[in-house]
Amino acid sequence: MSSNELAKQRADREALRVGGHDARAWQLVSARQVEAFDPAQLGKADQIILDIEDAIDTSFKDQARENVVTWLQGGGQAWVRINDWTTPEWRHDVAALAGVPGLKGVMLAKAEAAEQVTDTFQRLGGETPVIPLLESALGIEDATDIARARGAYRLAFGSGDYRRDTGAESTPLAMAYPRTKLVLASRIAGLPGPVDGPTVDSRHTVLREQVGDAVAMGMTGKLCLITDQAAVINETMAPSPSDVAWAFEFLQKFEEGGRVIRDGSDKPRLARAATIKRRAEVFRIQPA
What is the SS3 string spanning the chain? CCHHHHHHHHHHHHHHCCCCCCCCEEEEEECCCHHHHHHHHCCCCCEEEEECCCCCCHHHHHHHHHHHHHHHHCCCCEEEEECCCCCHHHHHHHHHHCCCCCEEEEEECCCCCHHHHHHHHHHCCCCCCEEEEECCHHHHHCHHHHHCCCCECCCEECHHHHHHHHCCCCCHHHHHHHHHHHHHHHHHHCCCCCEECCCCCCCHHHHHHHHHHHHHHCCCEEEECCCCHHHHHHHHCCCCHHHHHHHHHHHHHHHHCCCCCCCCCHHHHHHHHHHHHHHHHHHCCCCC
- Between strands 25-30 and 47-51, the pairing is parallel
* 264 pLDDT above the threshold of 80: no
Q: Are 110 and 135 within 8 A, CB to CB?
A: yes
Give dist(CA 25, CA 219) in Å, integer: 12
Give dist(CA 83, CA 179) in Å, integer: 23
* 2 pLDDT above the threshold of 90: no
pLDDT in tens, 52-90: 998 899 999 999 999 999 999 999 999 999 999 999 999
Task: Give percent above pLDDT 90 in the chain.
Answer: 89
pLDDT of residue 288: 77
Q: Write down the mean pLDDT value for the chain.
A: 95
Domain edges within the chain: 3-236, 241-283
Give dist(CA 88, CA 53) in Å, integer: 12
CA distances from 211 to 133, 163, 192, 263 (A): 18, 18, 17, 33
Give dist(CA 33, CA 30) in Å, integer: 6
Length of the chain, please? 288
- Tell which CATH classification among 3.40.225.10, 3.40.50.2300, 3.20.20.60, 3.90.1720.10 matches the domain 3-236: 3.20.20.60
pLDDT in tens, 88-101: 999 999 999 999 99
